[in-house]
Amino acid sequence: MIAANSAGANEPGDGYTAYRQRRHFGSLDGLRALSVIAVVWHHTVGHDPSLPALFGTGAQGVTLFFAISGFLIVTLLLREQEERGSIDLRAFYMRRALRIFPLYFTVLALYLALVLGLERHTSAGREFLINLPFFLTYTSNWFVLLEGRVIFYFAWSLATEEQFYLVWPWVQRYVSPKRALAVMLAIALAVALVQQYGAGEAATDGNLGRRMIESISLAICFGVVLAHLLHRQRSYEALQWLFRWRGSSAVWAIAVLGLLQWQAPGFVVQLAMALLVGACVYREDHALAPLLRWRALAAVGATSYGVYLLHMLVKNVVLKALAPLGLQGNSCLVFVVTLTATIAVARMSFRYFESYFLRRKSRYERSMRASRSSVALP
């Protein structure tokens, strides 16, 4: 990883060289942490009419995570393609599977056991069993309507992510970078038009094709576009008016908060979030870096996947624990206790369960690099 640019290394060429050599973006874990904390707030406090509208937008934390994911995944793919001449799709999917599947299917199995033991005869429990095939296949965002009480409903965002992983690497692999960028811009435009002028209709009219289009995240699309633009030197330098100033990350953070407060159109918020990600990776010494690289916050971001998957289970335990004290109605207390307990559980999961598969992932990557090296030998 290249250290933060010095004052004399901020010329466009130097900045681009440092960006391309950087193997770790120091602020992204902090951004992930903020996104998952916002989601926990949304699911514990929700919208309190006594608070400003901004406090009712915690669900947008998922949107920020989407923007990060689109940028980071495609940046890695573009660099692999340039350095090795191609993208190893088998290795990509193996890495993704070892990172995502073990915890996801373990948590889903735990939900299934709890539903069979406690909710089997309730309407929500029966609906969960009907929806189980869609949770198992990452298609709940197409087939599960988020109306009323839906157990495991937060899986819709994970389905959106998995569908992106399933499709887009093939485009990056077999289409030139310039054409891939054009394809993504066309997709983003089509999705924006459908979401802006027909949002929600597909949920009730039975139009699966339209529902699939609406389920595509614009934030992921914008993240992909950002990755392409920053990967090429000419466009990287063209974007310096947006990102080169050290305070640009703070400006874009304020812009995002303002747009959420004033309930701006969704595509505008998602674009602003992608630009915030851009400001946080364009230069490592941006204004928000001290906050986003704060060790405690970054640690939450490093386990954000576990926090997201586990927080609803923890919330239900917290509500039952607070009920005898008559405190289950104190939403801010529920948020604090849920967040603290979820972080603790997620860290344990990461250390004692997920790390096993991450070690296997690392060994697999080393073996793949070794096999490539052996092929290259005369």
- pLDDT per residue as tens digits for the range 349-363: 999 999 999 888 777
Contact by Cβ (8 Å): 136, 108:
yes
The pLDDT value recorded for residue 14 is 53
Mean pLDDT of 276-283: 96
State the pLDDT confidence band at 153, using cuts at 50, 70 and 90.
very high
Name which residue leads in pLDDT, 200 or 152. 152
Contacts 24+ apart (CB under 8 A), 333-338: 334/44, 334/45, 335/40, 335/41, 335/44, 335/45, 338/40, 338/44, 338/311, 338/314
| Residue-wise pLDDT tens digits, 42-71 | 999 988 788 889 999 999 999 999 999 999
Q: Which residues contact 92 (CB under 8 A, 6 or more apart)?
A: 77, 169
- Measured between alpha carbons, how far is residue 32 from residues 45, 190, 240, 303, 311 in Å? 20, 27, 24, 9, 15
Instruction: Tell me how far apart the alpha carbons of residues 242 and 278 are, in angstroms, rounded to a whole number.
Output: 9
Q: What percent of the chain has pLDDT over 70?
A: 91
How is residue 257 written in tokens?
């908060």
How is residue 213 written in tokens?
């289009």
Instruction: Tell me how far apart the alpha carbons of residues 135 and 141 are, in angstroms, rounded to a whole number.
Output: 9
Q: What percent of the chain has pLDDT over 90?
A: 81
**Residue given tokens 């997920």 in the structure block:** 354
The pLDDT value recorded for residue 378 is 33
How is residue 360 written in tokens?
């296997």
Whether residue 5 has pLDDT greater than 60: no
How many residues would you count in the chain? 378
Model's pTM, two decimal places? 0.91
Whether residue 203 has pLDDT greater than 60: no
